Structure 1
Amino acid sequence: MVFKIGLQQITLLIVMLFASFFSYSQTKTISGIVSDTINTPLENANIIAKPSQTNQQLKFSITDNKGRFRLELDSSAKYEIVVSYIGFVDQVLVIEPNSTITSHDFKLKSTGEKLKEIVIKQEFKAVIIKKDTMTFNVKSFANGNERKMKEILEKLPGVEVEKNGNVTVQGKKVTKMLVEGKSFFGGGTKLAVENIPADALDKIEVIDHFNDVGFMKKVSDSDDLVMNVKLKEDKKKFIFGDVQAGIEVANDNGFYLAHAGIFYYSPKTNISYIGDSNNIGKSTFTFEDLMQFEGGASSFLSGRKSLTNLYTLTDDNTDVVLSKSQFSAINFSHDVSPKLSLSGYAIFSKIITRSHTESRNEYLQNALLTFENQSEVNQNNGLLGIGNIKLDYSPTDKEKWYYNSQYQSSNNDINNTINSVTDTNSSLFETINKADNFSFKNYIEWHKEYNQNHSSTFVINQAYEVNSPTNHLLSNAPFLENLIPFEEDNLYIINQVKRINNNSVDALFKHYWILNNFNHLYINLGNNYETSHLTSNENQLLTDGTINNLENAGFSNNIKYNLNDSYVGLEYKFKIGGWTNKPGLYIHRYHLVTRQDLTNTLNKTLLQPQWTSDYEFNQSENIKFEYLLSNKFPDVNQYANGYTLKSYNSIFKGNALLENERYHLAYLRYSKVNMYRGIMINAMINFNKKIKTIRNEVLLNGINQLYSPILTDNPETNWRINGAVSKKIYKFNLKLNTNLTWFNYTQKLNTVTSVNSRNTQEIGILLKTANKKWPDLSIGYTKGFSSFEGITTSKYQNDMINSDLEIALFKSWIFKFDYEYLQNTNNDDQKNYSDIANTSLRYQKKNSPITFEVSINNLFNVKNKNSYTFSDYIISQQATYILPRVILFSINYKL
């Protein structure tokens, strides 16, 4: 009933809003072509329509590759249309009220090297496009009601901000965030978009193919997309930002929120502080932000994976029954001299969560099924501290040095309780896990341009990590009885101690040789070295104080692992018109030594070809293809040939005879933006085919699992297609998107080999308003299909409806509402659903630094969310309990 009422209310609201939208004044469309005096179309020329009335909105357009433009103007207003293009004299056309002009072509005259007119008119340009840089003038899109940078970005054409803080521009993800040209908290986007005040923004620069080292851009082939925030002049040399405090009203659950974002920017010194404390499930930074912080490695050599698992520190913890979060971070940069700058950040995060999940699991055992009802309660206390320092030294305009060092320390205390009920057994399990981890990472990076044709890069990464988890697993009855030789006792306790020490040193020297404007040659010499030492053991602790040593049953590991990868590579880059190609060939010499019961040595010389091809139809349309053949060696855990207890019903055993996986990787990406037609298209196809595959062989007995990795020649293929098409229609943006995956692989279960496939398809449609005067409204629908075919066949469907509304009321009030409905349907046409709504009402008097807000999270007070999942041999129906309704009153003060 809640769902029906919610949809009826939303439908009525939509009808009312659309009716009010079309009651606004009539518009007229003016189109035309911008060209030079010899009729050559000028792509990305700026057309600005400046109204004479102060209450009218500035209109703008950008020409497409054929020089075409289109403007939608209010019929009753007078406009001055200014057309500008770098290197050409501006032209002006005045449109009178109720004018009958519907088309006009502009022919611009060249100014040679004089760009004076462009500079004078700069402040009126809403968007400026130059080759790899697109600059948005914020005041052309803002309406003054925005609080944070996120709300500004959502109004920029082609820019989207996801709920987790990720930002995309014309379908491409922003990989680094800068403020005034300096990295903002490691370059993650969420901290910036959710904390930088909207009224501090002057311009937003989007820079494609970005490189920190200017003289290296012509050879670096970077695919990074960077967003650089330029602040208003009155925000520089002064402290700005805001502080917020909120408490729960209407209930006595003790919910609260405290948040501060304080910034200081000057020509030489920049300091930013972000602090947050709440128990409403709001995280301050995402896992991808954490990866930016956690990396501590050069972008040239960033392929190493961290040993620590810090997911719980980053997710929005609303799918829990308890959440407490404390976060503090400071970011700074200082120009010591014109040649030397110092920057860094320090982060502290503490998370306490408790979750509750109930599941019904089906374990697939060839022709048999075992059912388990499982109730799981999990409490996690996580603590993280990161400190990072970076030196940037430029002795000359042709030489650049970087040094970066990072220290990280974390500990996770987890208490997990599982009640497992099967057809034949009922057991209670409690696991107490404590993990203390630390790492020290540093790198040095050097770039040198010798002359116009020759330049070099040299990089060394070093990382040392220690991961030391301790587990106590307690049960009221014996478990995994065929694998663990328990001694009879009143309480069954397993104590597990594990430690991994890992040290790696990676080095790369790369020389760039520009033969001419159309041919480049790149030479690569490198070496990657990794050494690891893993120890683990499990023992039964009896209640009389004695120990049942399980080492004789195989529960012990002591392995030393050394892998060295020396390589040489040659890349040749050539360009034919708008078509750029870069084939490459690498020769890798791998030397692997593992020492445990026996010493195993493996030497391999492998060829790894690659090819990149990029064709640019014009500045607004391109297609890119990339292929490589790669090899991946297992880590130390997969080689450890003793047993390791993973959970109450699973044990892992490594394989000392493993070798490398070998796989093909390829992707094809197409992008097109047509401002004239209001169309944006992005599509990508990813393909991954493993020739040699490491996959776990599983022995399943009831719910008990023993799995061990094996290397096979059975191929695995993984296709993924995703794309989006958006079109501006009248005052709306219509977007269609899709995400399709097909994964085929071979699984060995209980000695029977089967060919499995896991496929998912999602198709969605989204409609958003695109007018500054209108309420911001978006309505979306997504249909999803999931299927598993192998030992058995399972199919699921899901239907998702989501909507967001923001509307200004009486100038000083802002009302927001968002709603999400998810329905899941299983094989037997059984359905479950959940719907979540949040709303807020904000009041801020014009020019007042104080904002009052009442927000309601989980408006309908939903108790849990339902879902279906499946893996290689488990099908699960889950109910996850979530935070109750939170009604919060908060006050925000703008500094």
Structure 2
Amino acid sequence: MNFKFSIIIILFFFSYSFSQNINIEVKEANGNPISEVNVQLLKHEKTLDFQKTNDKGVCNFQPSQKGNFSLKFSSLLYKTKIVEINTNEKNDFGIVLESQVKTIPTIEIKARPKIASAKEDTIAFNLKAVRDGTERTTEDLIKKLPGLNINENGKVTYRGKSVGQVLVEGNEFFGKNHKMATQNISANMVESIDLWQNYTTINGNRSTALNLKLKEEYKGKITGNIEGNYGTNNSYLGHANLFRIGKLGNLALIADANNIAKDPISFMDFYEMNTQEDIDNSDSSSNVDIPTFLNNDGKVESKDNQFGALQYSKSKKNFSITAFSIFNNAQLNKFSTSKRTVFEGQSMDFNFYEQRTENNRGFLGTTQIKMKKTFADDSFLYYNFGYNPTQDNFNQNIDRYSTDINFYTINNTVKNNGISNFISWNKQLNSSKIIFAFNQMNEDYSGNLNILSNNNLFLTDNNSLFQQYDVNSKRYGLDFYLKNKNKLVNFNLHSGFSYKNEKSELTELISQANENRTLKTYHYINDLNMYKQFGKFELSASLSSHFLNINEYEKHYFEKRLKFQYSPASKANTEVSLEYNSIYKLPTLKLLQYNPLYTKDLYFTQNVDLTPDLISNTDSYKLTFHRAYLEKGSSMFLMLMYDKTKPSFTTNSINYGKFSAMENTMGRYNDRLIFLFASDRRFSKYYTLKTKFTSALTKNVNYISENENISTVQNFELSQKLSTNFKNKPLQFDLGYTFTKGIFEQSFYDTTSKQDNIRLSFGIRANIKKEWIGNILSEYLIQKTGENKLSNFLIGGQISYRKEKSNFEYSLLFSNILNLNSFQYINSYTSQLGTEEASTAALQGYIIGGLKYNF
């Protein structure tokens, strides 16, 4: 029935798909083709489509009807030209553009420069308006651009969301890992930065992208730098960047070795590395655990990283390839203390004080190969291969003091290997696009947990435990897409089938316990998405029908999405949107394990009443408002989002003092409310103020010893930063503050804990005679919990000297120089087990000096 319904829809809308191609060839007066010309197709002064000419000066459009149109040609090097055409007479057009490059006398411009300008879906930033000579990396430039920010994971964000990719000269650069480009490409290599809001990826998807255009002197040759630094407490940093950007393709090699906890990979990077994309950008993520050595918050006594990354990309008219490989090896040591106070009415024997010492090491990697072959009829074949190995060796000693003394030695080794393949065929038929896609993903997970103690462990009569947990997952998917643009309404039709087979084996050697589980899921999907523009209003809606067979259980549900957007006419770019989403989620294989699944944190999980066919529904509502005066360098973004999950997967917590149990069950609901406000404002020519306020409220219904409990978590953060940009002055200043507050509540015991952090900062940026560059940041950090308060001065930065026209640069790097031997972070929270006060040793300060060779 679903298949017949899909065929009827295809035939009904296919009648709107027949139109013609408009073929355009752009040349100079001497007949040479012109590439990278912006070409707009307009009708009644309204843009219908937007293209760029290729290396042969050619582009084409597929309008849904014939008639009179306008073509607008624009380029930095050629005069803008508008041509009227009639496709009833012909479809091929040759256009000659006139050069506008002229030699003009030097003049002084006293007018306030524009920071950014918008044209169609592209925002072009004027870097000359924000440069002050103190920038070292591309990241330093991006932080100064209105509307753009760098989040805690190193991702470039715009309108509260991560930008899809950071490109170099229009080519992919290490996939979605932004830091590879922003922290390794030096600021002086970058000529311009553009934000593409409707970027077409190599596989034909639509996304956002930040494109870095390099200066001509850095193209066609090997460029980059190599540096080595050494200092106090045997601290060291070695780093190398090698780039070759040119007609033969783009080649990049990045290597790093350090013991100052400089992390090249973030949590979000790791998640995206283990994700397989489909045609509609809805990620097929895996259930890989985050490695314990992937610590990005500096809360470690020591951390060593060895990192290497290699990429090659080349794009031609008929063939494109992008291939990269990343490998990161790490070792860390961590020390923490904590005190747990149980709720009033519980046994005081459950209170304890403990010390934890960790020694973790492991590696992670990824290899991605993407290829695109375009044929004479403009159809193309796309292939993507991914390989992601991970190994995490966790070692921990716990000394826990209560009514008696308990010692634990814990070893937890986790290995995961993932292999994925994706292939699609894309064919344009006039105003319709047909896609057939096949994807495959295979994952092998192996977890080995060994615990030794001086007392019996958990609910057993043994003081040792040897657990092995293995999971194999195989997934196959076949999808068909029809995407159509026509005069009545744009629509996308998707029909797909996937099969997933998961097998797990959970064994414990001492007790001889064993559990084998199999989860087979057959998933049929039919999805219809429609889009219509009414003047300044845009409306899009989608309805997805899902039929599942899970271990012979049958389930059917509909997922819905509705979005309304309004863009009023004003001097500022303004957008208001309302969005609604309804999605469903099934329990994972790990949640369904009936035997105790022990963890390194001295608790075990166990399924109580979950079955494979139980589904959890989440309804999301989102309001966004964005207003930007790009020319003035000011922008404002506001987002309010509310999620309600009903019912939700939750736990029943049982506290045994020495350990705890988490029984997997269903809860009534889980609510989440998020508010985000971000603004950039420029005062006169010299001052920029960045403001960010975030607030999150989460309410989760769970159980404590089978009694219903509501856990409430409230987080607030307010930060502001005032920066100067005194042109042709040697010194610049940054003044800011960040205030964060966390409130944790458990309703059953009516218990609350709070934590406040205040961070005051003052920074100095210097560029003296274009030879000395300095960046010094001083901070005053106040940490306050219900029982403790710590105040610390933190000073860090970098000073470098490079004589003009010299390849050598001398650097001095320092961090936390007033705390070279010790520094601590404290935090407090209330969980379902009690109130915890914890302290974690932080990385000691360091001073290192070294030499960098630039070429």
Provide the TM-score with structure 2 as the length reference.
0.83
Q: Does 1:866 pair with 2:826? A: yes
Q: Distance in 2 between matches of 1:522 and 1:466?
A: 35
One-letter code aligned to 2:211: N
Distance change (3 Å), C-alpha of 1:805 and 1:163: farther
Equivalences for residues 222-241 of structure 1 within 5 A: 222=206, 224-241=207-224
> 1:622 aligned to 571, 575, 578, which one?
575
Residue of structure 1 aligned with 2:846, choices 866, 883, 886:
886
**Judging changes above 3 Å, is the alpha-carbon distance between structure 1 residues 874 and 118 closer, same or farther for their aligned structure 2 residues?**
farther
Return closer, same or farther for 1:457/1:178 CA change in 2, 3 Å cut-off.
same
1:664 aligns with 2:640: no
What corresponds to 1:853 in structure 2? 811
Q: Is 2:750 aligned against 1:795?
A: no
Distance across 1 between alignment mates of 2:281 and 2:80: 49
* Aligned-partner Cα distance in 2 for 1:580–1:856: 52
The letter of the residue matching 1:467 is Y
> What is the CA-CA distance between 1:143 and the residue it aligns to?
4.2
Deviation track 1:752-804 (CA, whole Å, cap 9, x = no partner) reads 11233222222222212234435342222223332223122223333222333
Alignment of structure 1 residues 721-870 onto 2, 5 Å: 721-730=675-684, 731-774=686-729, 775-789=731-745, 790=747, 791=749, 792-827=751-786, 830-861=788-819, 862-870=822-830
What CA RMSD, in Å, does the superposition of the two structures yield over aligned residues?
Answer: 3.0
Instruction: Letter of the 2:519 partner, please give it.
Output: Y
CA distance 1:140–1:116, shift in 2 (3 Å): farther
Take 2:756 and 2:149, find their aligned partners in 1: how far apart are those partners?
Answer: 27
Q: Supply the AA of the counterpart residue of 1:159.
A: L
Please state how far the C-alpha of 1:675 moved relative to its aligned partner: 4.1
Deviation at 1:840, TM superposition (A): 2.3
What per-residue deviation string (whole Å, max 9, x for no partner) do you get for residues 387-439 of structure 1? 222111111463232101122222221111111112x2221101112222211
Q: How far apart, CA to CA, are the structure 1 residues paired with 2:97 and 2:692?
A: 41
For residues 213 and 771 of structure 1, do their structure 2 counterparts lie closer, same or farther at Cα, with a shift above 3 Å needed? same
Give the corresponding residue for 1:159. Answer: 148
Partner of 2:40: none
Equivalent position to 1:638, from 586, 591, 603: 591
Q: Which residue of 1 aligns with 2:837?
A: 877
Q: What's the offset of the Cα at 1:328?
A: 0.9
1:180 equivalent to 2:169? Answer yes
Query: Does residue 495 in structure 1 map to residue 466 in structure 2?
Result: yes
Distance in 1 (CA, whole Å) between partners of 2:397 and 2:264 is: 28
Q: Kindly indicate whether residue 531 of structure 2 is the aligned counterpart of residue 578 of structure 1.
A: no
**Which residue is 1:432 aligned to?**
411
Q: What letter corresponds to residue 804 of structure 2 in structure 1?
A: K
Does 2:501 align with 1:531? yes
Aligned counterpart in structure 1 of residue 521 of structure 2, from 538, 563, 567: 563
Distance 1:568 1:416, change over 3 A: same
1: CA distance, partners of 2:517 / 2:368? 32
Query: Whole-Å Cα distance in 2 between the matches of residues 323 and 765 of structure 1?
Result: 31
Determine whether 1:291 maps to 2:271: yes
Aligned equivalent of 1:17: none
Residues 754 and 828, structure 2, Cα contact 8 Å, conserved in 1: no
Q: CA offset at residue 301 of structure 1? A: 5.7
CA offset at residue 886 of structure 1?
1.2
Displacement of 1:709 after TM fit?
A: 1.2
User: 1:807 aligns to what SS in structure 2?
Assistant: strand
* 1:413 has 2:390 as partner: no
8 Å contact from structure 1 (residues 178, 187) kept in 2: no
Question: What is aligned with 2:35?
Answer: none
* Partner residue of 2:445 out of 463, 467, 476: 467
What is the CA-CA distance between 1:511 and the residue it aligns to? Answer: 0.9
Q: Distance in 1 between matches of 2:753 and 2:804?
A: 57
Q: State which drifts further: 175-184 or 391-400.
A: 391-400
> How many equivalent pairs are there?
755
- What's the CA shift for 1:727? 1.9
Counterpart of 1:378 in structure 2 is 358
CA offset at residue 682 of structure 1?
0.5
How does 1:311-710 map onto structure 2 within 5 Å?
Answer: 311-312=291-292, 314-316=294-296, 318-335=298-315, 338-364=317-343, 370-396=350-376, 398-422=378-402, 424-452=403-431, 454-480=432-458, 483-486=459-462, 492-516=463-487, 519-540=489-510, 549-551=511-513, 556-593=514-551, 601-618=552-569, 620-647=573-600, 649-655=602-608, 657-658=610-611, 659-675=614-630, 679-710=634-665
The verdict on how the C-alpha distance between 1:238 and 1:645 changes in structure 2, with shifts beyond 3 A counting, is same
Percentage identity across aligned positions? 21
Q: Which amino acid aligns with 1:644?
A: L
Query: Does the 8 Å CA contact 2:134/2:765 hold for their aligned counterparts?
Result: no
Aligned partners of 2:479, 2:201: CA distance in 1, in Å?
18
Q: Which deviates further from its counterpart, 527-536 or 818-827?
A: 818-827
Q: 1:212: how far off?
A: 2.0
Query: 2:65 maps to which residue?
Result: none
Residue 590 of structure 1 aligns to which amino acid in structure 2?
A: L
SS at match of 1:638: helix
Secondary structure in 1 matching 2:217: helix
Q: In the TM superposition, what whole-angstrom CA distance separates every residue of 1:531-574 from its partner, at most 9, and x where no partner exists?
A: 1111111133xxxxxxxx242xxxx3210111222111222211
Secondary structure of the residue aligned to 1:617 is coil
Equivalents in 1 of 2:713, 2:407: separation in Å?
32
- Kindly provide the amino acid, as one letter, of the partner of residue 465 in structure 2: I
CA offset at residue 499 of structure 1?
0.6
The aligned counterpart of 2:200 is 211
Structure 1 residue matching 2:284: 3-state secondary structure: coil
Q: 1:417 to 1:835 in 2, by over 3 A?
A: farther
Q: Deviations over 1:559-596 (max 9, x none)?
A: 01112221112222111111111122211111111xxx
**Does the CA-based 8 Å contact 1:88-1:112 persist in structure 2?**
no
State the distance in 1 between where 2:783 and 2:134 align: 37
Secondary structure in structure 2 of the residue aligned to 1:150: helix
8 Å contact kept, 1:740–1:762: yes
Q: In structure 1, give the amino acid aligned to 2:226.
A: V
Question: How far apart in 1 are the matches of 2:273 and 2:326?
Answer: 9
Q: Which residue of 1 aligns with 2:250?
A: 270
1: CA distance between counterparts of 2:832 and 2:176? 37
Contact 2:114 2:633 in 1 (8 A): no
Contact 1:465 1:501 survives alignment (8 Å): yes
